[in-house]
A and B are shown apart, each in its own frame.
Chain A
Amino acid sequence: MKRIESQLNTGSAEFRANVAHNRAIADDLKARQQAARHERPQRDIDRLRAQKKLLVRERIALLLDPGTPFLELSTLAAGEAYDGSVPGAGCVIGIGIVAGREVVINAGDASVKGGAWYPLTIKKTVRALDIAIENRLPVVHLCDSAGGFLPLQADFFADKYAAGRIFRNQCALSKMGVPQVAVVLGHCTAGGAYVPALSDYSVIVRGTGAIFLAGPPLVKAATGEEVTVDALGGADMHTSVSGTADYPAASEEEAIAIARDIVGNFAKAEKTKVQWQTPEPPLHDAEELYGVLPRDIKQGFDMREIIARIVDGSRFHEYQPAYGKTLICGYAHLWGYRIGILANNGVLFNDSALKGAHFIELCNRDRTPLLFLQNITGFMVGREYEQRGITKDGAKMIMAMSNATVPKLTVMCHGSFGAGNYGMSGRAFDSRFLFSWPQSQTAVMGAEQAANVLVDIKIRQLARTAQKLAPEDIAAIREPVLDEYKRKSSAYWSTSEIWDDGILDPADTRNALAMALSAALNAPIEEARYGVFRM
């Protein structure tokens, strides 16, 4: 496989300007992540310390095998919601190594509103369990939650993907034979009580851990019974009387050590075999990605320069290099794993869509995982293209992509607009993992374009009432519409809403994708079968 010949002029003013711009964006991302992870009101920290509790990230550090990576997902979930008062949506999820096994970690963060469940907490938790189901990964739940956030109960209680889905997913995992262990490090009240109860194994800390459907105050209100937390749902009661929990522990450290021992007893699943070769670092430095990405969302760039900074040895076997050139297709290796890459180099035409559909079928037949690198403004529009069947050719690509059974990974590299988002395995198409770069944008159409449409509608409404608008009136209408649109097409909005699995610093992409791919290979690849392709 030959190396991609980089055309990048790293000495150019353009390159340097891009680096400055994108590095600042990456730094801003790190600062936001740092804040979401660690900045808490002192009184919340003090309260946990007084209870002799560890912070959630200290717990995770104890849980993970030392010297192993942790791929944290959706760090900035709820970042744009609830006035930013629920960092990380009040929980930490990710993929790490425990006792040599890849596991999903689902940990409540009691330093955020006592670990209360907000609607996005539940969405993030459900996503963690979906990841476990899709990739057959064991789950370690670190439970410490005050229960649901009552003022928003209507938004998290009853819907199909609301709180009940957590328990439904736990049952599904158990049925699939994917083990779960819950470590009860705080209270698990009401619905939360089912998390340990539905886990195959549960450990509970004496003194601080408790499981009950209703806490002492609610019990008193309901029946008049006065009972202590320990007697109602403490470690000794549940491990020796009710059998709701399995192992008592005297400390968080011991509880986590027991959980590690339990995970160490899980059968090690045989991973799906795919083509693999000894890994090789990329020839081109990942840091140069900052200089590849343009400063303007509308400006194009060669996706090969991105590929060259992600894949092994910067080597790429390009498929149909001369046909449908706006969609780059080809093979590469990522940390040794052979993958098929589809990357946008412009708007999708008929030939690019057909090429994409064909390439996806090739990869799917050969059990080659797919990586979609999105920078797409959509499929080509206009009479000529409709006549050539751009819609049905796009449908072929969507059909092939949608039904592909090999693991799919997606990275929102820059723009993701219109049906192109779908054709390139957007969130709705069950990519095993979907990550965004911090400057990327996702929307049904570009911001300027959308703002013009919205302003036009407004002007026509006003015209009916015979109002004549001065240019400054139009600008006054246009600006807020544009700002709101931009906010909601930003990566930070996407990730806040959990449309992705987290924002990545571009330089981290290679490692994150490798961990995602490795995790994905815990699930078998099913036989390839498609629906009907419109010919």
Chain B
Amino acid sequence: MKNSLSHDTSAWPFKAVLVANRGEIAVRVLRTVQALGLKGIVVFHAADRGTLAVQMADQAIEITGSTPVAAYLDAEQILKAARDSGAGAIHPGYGFLSENAGFACAVAAAGLVFIGPLPEQIELMGDKVRARNFVERAGFPVAPSAIEDDDPTSFNDRARAVGTPLLIKPSAGGGGKGMRIVRDLALLDSEIERARSEGQRYFGDGRLYVERYIENPRHIEVQVLGDGYGSVVHVFERECSVQRRFQKIVEETPSPALTPELRARICETAAGIARSAAYRNAGTVEFIFAQSGEFFFLEMNTRLQVEHPVTEAITGKDLVFEQLRVAAGEPLGYTQADLQTSGHAIELRIYAEDAARGYTPTTGPLLQLRAPEGEGLRWDSGVIEGGEVTAAFDPMIAKLIVHGTDRSEALARADHALRDTVLLGCKTNIGFLRRLITHPAFIAGDVHTGFLDANPQIAAEPDPAPSTLQALLAAASLSTKTMRDGADAIPDLHAALGAWRN
């Protein structure tokens, strides 16, 4: 990250930006804000008092709540903090209030600039059905589907039109119960009947819903930037297929799944969708990508994404700066042709979690924290040594972003960097990440959203080699006061004699 950005902000309607967020993203936003010579203000709950964001902010304002999360969701307090501190703009980061249209309206009503899209754009994209319909009407691909309730009499025909393979789901369902995959349309009618009776049995409701079933899909998303004046560019794609518990763990760009043609098509589709909405702000259009090369609109996130640094790495764009600029009313000032990429970037999310125990979150103090250093590395984190990972927030500790001339160099750098990352006191997924990125399928780029479920051995902690176990026991014994003192208490003579017997 650059330490200063030479950009004339004198015409901007704000001189101070309040970050309504915490953790690594608050730090990330503050960096750009401060690099521009603007005042960076952050709100914080007491649980975050010792964090990096609070330390580096020009001003930090404590907010309270029934839970720490509640504090960051409390628009009233945040607006008050903004007024009290003289902030002219609020950056919501991601999560919390970032996609809350009501909040965006309230910010505007308070005479402040919301660093994000217009409230109606948030509203449009915030409702999945509405967004889907909007995209479909605009002529972009959405996954074919049929809802029985729309017209029960034509349901079977409409279901047939979805095409195979397709998935029949009970409308009232959840948790996979009553779901049936159909690969042969000859069986469609009988499978519908079966699904209906299962739905009745499980949920007391036989209504159904059919959608195209995409086997082993990939998650590919495209970064877009719009200035609200109609100018929209895409900033290329990101592949985020490796997920656990429906959360991304590793993101990279370019996607290893795309040919140049497919890449151009999916990126242009995303830009087209954003353009249709006259989008302002940075945003992300997410697609479900079938192994066949088909892709369908999934949703659009109207905020900065966790994984935005990989895009920054290959394009040299500072996306927070772009957000601030367009929110300040500047036009993009460049066209798609001006955007070029260089090399390959991968983000690895370091979580406080136990991969071997179903990725359950862990907590603990950060007794030792040493970020890796080296060429092509970026470490985005909101925690510092001596801090603590608590159950109050998301368990993400840091993001490690590696950039290389190509994917294999990036992967090699990632493995080195993970090895050099010291994080003691709280169990993390670093070992898991190393196993993941050295897995042959991952190296081949052959992944999908179900990859980790299909390969549970990656999450399993391998038994350490005997020599490793010995080293661990030696190091642990020497670090355990009771044992060290016990050994040190042995008089010199008797230590020299060892286990002598007469």
Contact = CB atoms under 8 A, between A and B. Distances in A.
The short answer to whether A and B are in direct contact, CB under 8 Å, is yes
Interface of A: 65-72, 97, 99-102, 264, 268, 279, 335-336, 502, 504-505, 508, 511-512, 514-515, 518
Contacts of A97: 490-491, 494
Report the 5 A-B pairs with minimum CB-CB distance, sorted nearest first: A100-B489, A69-B500, A69-B497, A508-B502, A68-B494
B496 A70 contact: no
B486 interface: yes
Contact of B493 (A65, A67, A264, A335): A335
B501 interface: yes
Contacts of B488: 100
A100 B502 contact: no
B475 interface: no
B491 A279 contact: no
A354 B486 CA distance: 48
B490 A70 contact: no
Contacts of B186: none
A514 B486 contact: no
Nearest to A518: B493
Contacts of B496: 279, 335
Contacts, number: 61
B498 interface: yes
Interface of B: 486, 488-491, 493-502
A514 B497 contact: yes
Nearest to B482: A264
B502 A514 contact: no
25 contacts: A65-B490, A67-B490, A67-B498, A67-B499, A68-B495, A68-B497, A69-B494, A69-B498, A69-B499, A71-B502, A72-B501, A72-B502, A97-B490, A100-B486, A100-B490, A101-B489, A102-B491, A264-B486, A264-B489, A279-B496, A504-B502, A511-B500, A515-B494, A515-B497, A518-B491
Contact of B498 (A68, A279, A504, A508): A68
A71 B493 CA distance: 13
Contacts of B490: 65, 67-68, 97, 100
Contacts of B494: 68-69, 97, 102, 515, 518
Nearest to A435: B502
Contacts of A336: 493
A99 B502 contact: no
Nearest to A73: B502
Contacts of B499: 66-69
Contact of A514 (B489, B493, B495, B498): B493
A508 B497 CA distance: 11
Contacts of A511: 497, 500, 502
A72 B486 CA distance: 23
A504 B501 CA distance: 11
Contacts of B486: 65, 99-100, 264
A97 B486 CA distance: 11
Contacts of B493: 335-336, 514-515, 518
A518 to B, nearest CB: 5
B489 A99 contact: yes
A512 B494 CA distance: 11
Nearest to A260: B486
Given A71-B502, A502-B502, A505-B502, A100 B497 contact: no
A394 B401 CA distance: 91
A396 B132 CA distance: 116
